[in-house]
Amino acid sequence: MPKKKTGARKKAESRKEREKQIRASRGNIDLAKHPCNASMECDKCQRRQKNRAFCYFCSSVQKLPICAQCGKTKCMMKSSDCVIKHAGVYSTGLAMVGAICDFCEAWVCHGRKCLSTHACICPLADAECVECERGVWDHGGRIFSCSFCHNFLCEDDQFEHQASCQVLEAETFKCVSCNRLGQHSCLRCKACFCDDHTRSKVFKQEKGRAPPCPKCGHETQETKDLSMSTRSLRFGRQTGGEDADGASGYDAYWKNLSAGKDEDAGDHDEEYDEYEAEDDEEDDDHEEGGKDLETEAADLFSNLNLGRTYASGYAHYEEPTD
C-alpha cells in the first residue's frame, strides 16, 4: 500500500506541475501578444502600427526600440549575455539594438540569445494574409491568426474573414470521398470527412488529439461543435431547381428570373389599381361635398332683399321725386 502524501509533498508536486506548464506556455505565445507583433505608435507622425525598426509611413527611427524577441526597451546588463559589453551602464535606444529581423522588420537587441534564435523562430517568417496576399513589408498593420483555420490575416481583413470562415466549399455536409455524413471538418480545405476517410497513411494521428486532415494535415474539428454552413448559389444555372440538368439550367434560371419580374409587375399593377380606386372615391366625395355646400349657400341668401341698388339696375336719378 503506498504511503499517504504529506502536505509538503502535495505542494511540491503542484509547484512542479505549474512550472512545467509555464515552460510549455513560453514556447506557445499568442501571435497578438508576441513582441515582434506588438502595437507601436510613431514618435513623429503619431500613427499606430506594428512594431518596426522604421516607421512604415514616415520612415523615422523610434527613440525607444523594442526587441522583437524578448520585448525589452532597456538593457540592464544583469547577465553577461550581451555581445557588446557596457559594464555599469544601462543602454537604451540604438545602443541596445544589434540587428533588424528580415521577416518581422523589427529591432533585435544585442543579447546573444536573441540574436542567435529569433531569426529561426520568428512567428512572422512566412506571414502572408490569406485574403489579400500581403506580407509584413506590404502594409503597416499588425498580423493576426484566424481562430478557425489558423491562417495569417492582416488587420484589414481579420473580421471579414473570420465571419465567413466556417463555410464549406460544398452544398451538403457529406463526406467528400463517400456519401456518408461528414463528422469531421477541415477549416482550411473547407471539406467534411467521415471517420473512415480521416485515416491517412501520410499524416499520422497523435494520441489524444483530433485526426488530421487527409489532404493538408491540418487538425480537424467535429462538425457538431462548429457553426458550419454550406455554400449557397444565388446566381447561375444551379439555382434552376432539381430538374435543371446541364446547360438547360441556364434557361430555368432566366425563366425564374422573368417569372419573378412578372409577379412583381403584377403586384405593382394591383397596388396601382387599388390606389387609383381610392383616389377616385376621394374625388367623388369632394365633388358631392362641394355641391351640397353650394345648395346650402343658395338657400341661405335666397330670401335676402336689399332693395333698389346699383347692382339691381336702378340709379338715384331714376327714382321718382315727391
Comparison of pLDDT for 90 and 183, the residue scoring more: 90
Cα-atom radius of gyration of the chain, to the nearest Å? Answer: 41
Q: Is the pLDDT of residue 322 over 50?
A: no
- The closest of 76, 131, 140, 74 to 105, measured between CA atoms, is 140
pLDDT tens string 141-186: 888 888 888 888 888 888 888 888 888 777 777 887 787 877 788 8
Comparison of pLDDT for 53 and 226, the residue scoring more: 53
Q: In whole angstroms, give the CA distance from residue 150 to residue 210.
A: 15
Q: In whole angstroms, give the CA distance from residue 68 to residue 135.
A: 17
* Residue count of the chain: 322
Are 195 and 210 in contact by the 8 Å Cβ rule? The answer is no
Mean per-residue pLDDT of the chain: 76
Q: Three-state SS for 91?
A: strand
pLDDT tens string 204-258: 777 777 788 888 877 887 877 777 777 666 555 455 454 544 444 556 666 666 7
Burial classification of residue 214, based on how many CB atoms lie within 10 Å of its CB (0-12 exposed, 13-18 middle, 19 or more buried)? buried
Tally Cβ neighbours within 10 Å of residue 154: 24
Are 133 and 154 in contact by the 8 Å Cβ rule? The answer is no
Q: Three-state SS for 255?
A: helix
Q: In whole angstroms, give the CA distance from residue 139 to residue 146.
A: 18
pTM above 0.75, yes or no: no
Q: Residue 108 has what pLDDT?
A: 92
- The closest of 73, 105, 67 to 92, measured between CA atoms, is 73
Q: Residue 244 has what pLDDT?
A: 44
Q: Residue 231 has what pLDDT?
A: 67
Q: Residue 240 has what pLDDT?
A: 47
